[in-house]
Structure 1
Amino acid sequence: MTLLSVNLNKIAVLRNSRGGNSPDICRAAQTCIEAGCGGITVHPRPDQRHVRPDDVRALAAMLRGRVEYNIEGNPFAGPRGDYPGLIALARQVRPTQVTLVPDGDGQLTSDHGFDLRQDMARLRPLVGELNELGCRVSLFVDAGSRDFDLAAVIGVQRIEIYTGPYAQAFADGDPAGALAACADTARRAQQAGLAVNAGHDLSQANLGTFKAAIPGLAEVSIGHALIGEALYEGLATSVRHYLQILR
């Protein structure tokens, strides 16, 4: 079955808006695990607008040996204040997977993937170091991307398809073109020996259609929609609904 990794960034946003430690991000992770999710995702950023380095470390301690741990972030963003940089965090906690994302402070959320041909030389040593740490490496890419053979050569094991455009097309009532682009991208990646993840704006409404179009989909990372839906139906119930769709 496709693994569901729950992104807990929005829990941290709510906590940070008030200060203190409530809601507790580790308790949220525990609730998701008890409901059956197979992984937890966080996306720490240098400006620490949501998940902070101490969250990354606390979650690593509680998750180890239980479910997969996926840390997302920009590998080119250097240390800033208490943020040591993505690679340094990976050295400290050795997550199951590191998803490399080319985002910056000016972006409200991740909204594009890597240009594989252009970025490969800079990515090569970082991917190599993550592999040496025992971390699986995934690259965030746009639907329509190519050159996956270049990614495989430097040690990348997976891609994560940016599904924001698909989600918007689905909401507009015309998802066929965006869905076909995602399916074609998945086929190209799998032909290059890479596994396929997906994430961004996937929801209970659009996930089933997406999964049916992507044979062999390894993982979906879902945060914003799942946490929003949890306000109405409860966190554990929302996780179980997603798992039912993925089955």
Structure 2
Amino acid sequence: MTLLSVNLNKIAVLRNSRGGHAPAPVAAVDTVIAAGAGGITVHPRPDRRHVTPEDVLALAAAIAGRVEYNLEGNPFAPPREGYPGFLALCAAARPTQATLVPDSDGQITSDHGFDLRRDAARLRPVVAELKALGCRVSLFVDAGVEGLEEAAAIGADRIEIYTGPYAQAHAAGVPERELARCARTAEQARALGLGVNAGHDLSQANLGDFLRAVPQVGEVSIGHALIGEALYAGLDATVRAYLAIIAAASHG
């Protein structure tokens, strides 16, 4: 069954909007795990507007093998004061999975995947270094991306399909074309021996349709919608609601 990894970035955004220490992403760990989620995701950025390197390490200690830990980031963003670089964070936190994302410093959120034919050569040593740390490596890609064979050739373990366009199409009532693109990409990846993850703008409203159309998905990473919904329903209840959707989709 598809694993749910809960992205805790938005908890850090709420804390950072005021300053201080609360609410802390690490305080959500026990609730998320007790509710049944199989993983926790964070995406630290160099400008520290979301989770910070300090959060990354605190989460690593709190998770400590209880569930999967997925660290997302751009491995080519240079280190700077307050941000040691993505590879250094992975070396310190030893996440289960490192998801490489080509976001620039100025992006509000990730909005595109790697161009694998252009980027494979420079990704290859990064993938090798992360795997030497014991991390499973996933590459963020667009549905319909060309050159998936390059991801397999450089040693990546998985891809993560960017589902933003699907979510927009679903909200507009015309999801069929984007679902077909996601399904074809997942099928191509699986044929190459790559695992398939998915994430971005997935929600309770669109997750079930997505998983029924793309049954090969091993993991979904969901944060923005989940944390927003949890403001009204509570974190425990919201995680359980997502798990119920995943379970229903896995049974047809």
TM-score by length of 1: 0.99
After TM superposition, the structure 1 = structure 2 runs for residues 59-208 of structure 1, keeping only pairs within 5 Å, are 59-208=59-208
Deviations 1:78-135 (A, max 9, x none): 1011100000100111100000000012211000000000000110000000010000
Q: Distance in 2 between matches of 1:143 and 1:83?
A: 31
Stretches (4+) displaced over 3 A: none
Quote how far apart the aligned CAs of 1:136 are. Answer: 0.2
Where structure 2 has 5 or more consecutive residues not aligned to the other structure, the ranges are: 248-252
Please, what is the CA RMSD of the aligned residues? 0.7
Number of residue pairs matched by the alignment:
247
CA contact (8 A) 2:69 2:96 kept: yes
Q: Secondary structure at the match of 2:198?
A: strand
Tell me if 1:39 matches 2:39.
yes
Which letter does structure 2 place at the counterpart of 1:210? F
Which residue in 2 is equivalent to 1:222? 222
CA contact (8 A) 2:187 2:216 kept: no
CA contact (8 A) 1:138 1:159 kept: yes
Quote how far apart the aligned CAs of 1:240 are. Answer: 0.1
Which residue in 1 is equivalent to 2:237? 237
Quote how far apart the aligned CAs of 1:68 are. Answer: 0.2
Q: Distance in 2 between matches of 1:78 and 1:128?
A: 19
Q: Secondary structure at the match of 1:65?
A: coil
Q: Distance in 2 between matches of 1:236 and 1:81?
A: 36
CA contact (8 A) 1:2 1:219 kept: yes
Q: Distance in 2 between matches of 1:163 and 1:31?
A: 26
Q: Distance in 1 between matches of 2:65 and 2:102?
A: 29
Q: Kindly, what percent of the aligned residue pairs are identical?
A: 70
Where structure 1 has 5 or more consecutive residues not aligned to the other structure, the ranges are: none
Deviations 1:116-170 (A, max 9, x none): 0000011000000001000000000000012222111211000000000000000
Q: Distance in 2 between matches of 1:136 and 1:147?
A: 20
CA contact (8 A) 1:189 1:196 kept: yes
